[in-house]
Structure 1
Amino acid sequence: MAVQLICCSHSPLMTTDVEETETGVHASFFSELDSCAEAVKQFDPDLIVVFGPDHFNGFFYELMPTFCIGTAAVGTKDWHLESGPLRVPRELALACIRFLQSRDFDLALSHDMKVDHGITIPLFKLTGALNRYNVLPVFINCAADPRPSFRRVRMFGEAIGEFLAGKDMKMTIVGSGGLSHDPPTPRLELSPPDIAQRLIKKQTPTQEELDARESRVVRAARELVRGKGPCLPPSEQWDRDFLTTFVSGRLNDFDRMSDTEIDRVAGFGAHEVRTWVAAAAAARKLGGLHTELKYYHLVPEWITGMGIVVGRT
């Protein structure tokens, strides 16, 4: 069995034409991501497992699972990304859910999962399409308090790795999210009633509603670049500390990480590093994993500390 790990930041602003604050940074990131895409192409996996978050586009407080696996999935149209179905192997997804239940994980399942840019961006950037490969979509709640602890996330990833260890396949495991960033995502307890209802009641927003939300994010990014606005700037120190521990493989060290620390130092969006921890925990159950930091840079116009870590067993 051969396993490839790719953990990468995503920012929907990387799909826009926001002005670069430092020459060459965008090109450097995309060049490294293209190298990852070429590695995926050469590896030609039988299955891609994507651990990703959601940004209140597919999952809502009406019924917010901690973890969910889709037996079928379709991309949403946020940020004008191409929609369409993912190629999910239904029986394998169901078998994974049953295996996880045997390991005391009572996760949700979806026969019609909606995945937003947290999962579609890495699929587009790494494979060029949503349905080029068989994909197992794994949702981890990173945006809706209360979230799962890092210990539980790590154990969840390990359990998925145990399931995958019984399969004679080449696998690419992707963790999509983070690093430090503080987007203007509404918080339920701080939102007026109309915004709170949007977070609670499951709905499909119109293109006009999506455009209005996304314009607000673009404005927030421009204000952040000027040192203004509500968004906490990304923290290079926090990112570097996280990456050092992550690349070393000391995933248990993250068990002590608290949401309070993340909110205070790294920003609301940094909770998404849970996807990295789960992905790496799964990959490490499949053999000796060597990981390497391929890219890191603060990109304030994308609101985010952008990083890429790769690994092979």
Structure 2
Amino acid sequence: MADVVGMVAQSHSPLRWAAPPVGAADPGAHFVRAVDRSREIVAGLGCDVVVLFGPDHFRFAFYDLMPPFCIGAERVDGVGDYGTPSGPLPTAPDLALHLHRHVSADGFDPALSLTMAVDHGISQTYAALFPALDVPLIPIMLNTSAPPLPSPRRSREFGRAVGRALRAAPGDARVLVVGSGGLSHWPPRLDAFDADLPAEEREFLLTGRSSVADREAGRQEKVKAMGRASGRVNAEWDQRVVELIRTGGVDQLAGLSENEIDQAAGNGGQEIRTWIAAAAAFTEATGQPISSCRIDADYEPVPGWITGMGTVTAVATPDAVARVTGGL
């Protein structure tokens, strides 16, 4: 069985590397130091594979076919947006295919991609934790951008199914489970059902795969302009989410409705589904509540990055696997 050794839930932002802090007191510097601590903790775990739940922002999945969940199982390429990794990333095809087969037998029907492109929603957090880009990655995309979205409760149950699949995996790979997304932010909506969406923009959401590269510079400039104007952030809500993940309150988060999240944290706040799924996968795989783990958690609101930036790192205790299996 795979040995799930830790869990990280971490915010990403398109401006995290495009507009980095220079001084120790600059906006974002506190979060960067927290990520540095997380990376050091993860480095000590000796991870063989990272299973990363993250979103896509219309660079891979479009409304011509929009799955709620998709597992990348063979070739994974970074898009390279906002200074994130570009080109092939290391993968773990055998374990990825096992996860897909097991989760499918467990009542879910995730899409399978043998050639997945990942943007900053996945690659930024992966690179922040593994800057050498040398740990095999299994990306699991959750649709958090394009309604209809899987519910937070369904995302929790999917995470649990992935956790059971990891527990049943052959071999003894040391696995880190990661959720990349959120927290509160209000980016431009990408919704094909929006009656006010210009026809050209709607066509991109439906069939824009071939024009991603041509539109990239314009998309990034719009987001950078939002950062310069300082984006909207709900720090109180963000801190509550961090606290619920830290204390094992995933069920409370899973009970939120899409509208409740949208009202409190914006359409970008829907990305907390990735945190919910990762936390559920970790607990299901290890049998260990996150609240009983060694934890490092922190938060900083960064309006200039248009996002509330949080991070939670949990390390499983050595006897977690023994408790799940009833002893080895």
TM-score computed with the length of structure 1 as normaliser: 0.91
Among 215, 222, 225, the alignment partner of 1:219 is 225
Which stretch of structure 1 is more off in the superposition, 214-223 or 299-308? 214-223
1:89·1:135 contact (CA, 8 Å) conserved in 2?
yes
- Aligned ranges 1:256-295 → 2 under 5 Å: 256-287=255-286, 288=288, 289=290, 290=293, 292-295=295-298
1:20·1:26 contact (CA, 8 Å) conserved in 2?
no
Which stretch of structure 1 is more off in the superposition, 82-91 or 204-213? 204-213
Deviations 1:12-69 (Å, cap 9, x if unpaired)?
1011237789934422211221222222222121111100001111111110000000
1:19·1:301 contact (CA, 8 Å) conserved in 2?
no
- Aligned ranges 1:68-217 → 2 under 5 Å: 68-72=70-74, 73-130=76-133, 132-167=134-169, 168-188=172-192, 189=194, 190-205=196-211, 207-217=213-223
Which stretch of structure 1 is more off in the superposition, 78-87 or 193-202? 78-87
Partner of 2:321: none
2:246·2:297 contact (CA, 8 Å) conserved in 1?
no
CA distance in 2, matches of 1:160, 1:133: 19
Partner of 1:252: 251
**Following TM superposition, by how much is the alpha carbon of 1:111 offset from its aligned partner in structure 2, in angstroms?**
0.8
Which stretch of structure 1 is more off in the superposition, 278-287 or 199-208? 199-208
- In the superposition, relative to structure 1, how do residues 83 and 19 fare at CA in structure 2: closer, same or farther (>3 Å)? closer
**Following TM superposition, by how much is the alpha carbon of 1:203 offset from its aligned partner in structure 2, in angstroms?**
1.4
CA distance in 2, matches of 1:251, 1:311: 14
RMSD of aligned alpha carbons: 2.0
Opposite residue 150 of structure 2, the aligned amino acid is P
Partner of 2:238: 239
Opposite residue 209 of structure 1, the aligned amino acid is R
**Following TM superposition, by how much is the alpha carbon of 1:240 offset from its aligned partner in structure 2, in angstroms?**
2.1
CA distance in 2, matches of 1:8, 1:276: 8
CA distance in 1, matches of 2:48, 2:295: 23
3-state DSSP of counterpart to 2:295: strand
3-state DSSP of counterpart to 1:285: helix
- In the superposition, relative to structure 1, how do residues 192 and 18 fare at CA in structure 2: closer, same or farther (>3 Å)? farther
1:291·1:309 contact (CA, 8 Å) conserved in 2?
no
- Aligned ranges 1:7-22 → 2 under 5 Å: 7-17=9-19
CA distance in 2, matches of 1:53, 1:291: 27
**Following TM superposition, by how much is the alpha carbon of 1:198 offset from its aligned partner in structure 2, in angstroms?**
0.9
CA distance in 1, matches of 2:212, 2:285: 42
Deviations 1:83-119 (Å, cap 9, x if unpaired)?
1122222122111111111111011001111111111
- In the superposition, relative to structure 1, how do residues 53 and 312 fare at CA in structure 2: closer, same or farther (>3 Å)? same
1:48·1:174 contact (CA, 8 Å) conserved in 2?
yes
Partner of 2:305: 302
Aligned residues: 305
Opposite residue 83 of structure 1, the aligned amino acid is S
CA distance in 1, matches of 2:32, 2:24: 14
> Where does the alignment leave 5 or more consecutive residues of structure 2 unmatched?
317-328
3-state DSSP of counterpart to 1:195: helix
CA distance in 2, matches of 1:252, 1:109: 27
CA distance in 2, matches of 1:199, 1:251: 32
Opposite residue 156 of structure 1, the aligned amino acid is F
CA distance in 2, matches of 1:133, 1:197: 37
**Following TM superposition, by how much is the alpha carbon of 1:208 offset from its aligned partner in structure 2, in angstroms?**
5.0
Percent identity over paired residues: 36
Partner of 1:47: 49
CA distance in 2, matches of 1:129, 1:184: 32
3-state DSSP of counterpart to 2:179: strand
3-state DSSP of counterpart to 1:12: coil
Which stretch of structure 1 is more off in the superposition, 241-250 or 298-307? 241-250
CA distance in 1, matches of 2:45, 2:24: 33
- In the superposition, relative to structure 1, how do residues 259 and 52 fare at CA in structure 2: closer, same or farther (>3 Å)? same
- In the superposition, relative to structure 1, how do residues 79 and 103 fare at CA in structure 2: closer, same or farther (>3 Å)? same
Opposite residue 86 of structure 1, the aligned amino acid is L
1:20·1:301 contact (CA, 8 Å) conserved in 2?
no
Among 21, 26, 29, the alignment partner of 1:27 is 29
CA distance in 2, matches of 1:60, 1:206: 11
CA distance in 2, matches of 1:291, 1:284: 14
CA distance in 2, matches of 1:138, 1:291: 25
Opposite residue 219 of structure 1, the aligned amino acid is A
CA distance in 1, matches of 2:224, 2:20: 8
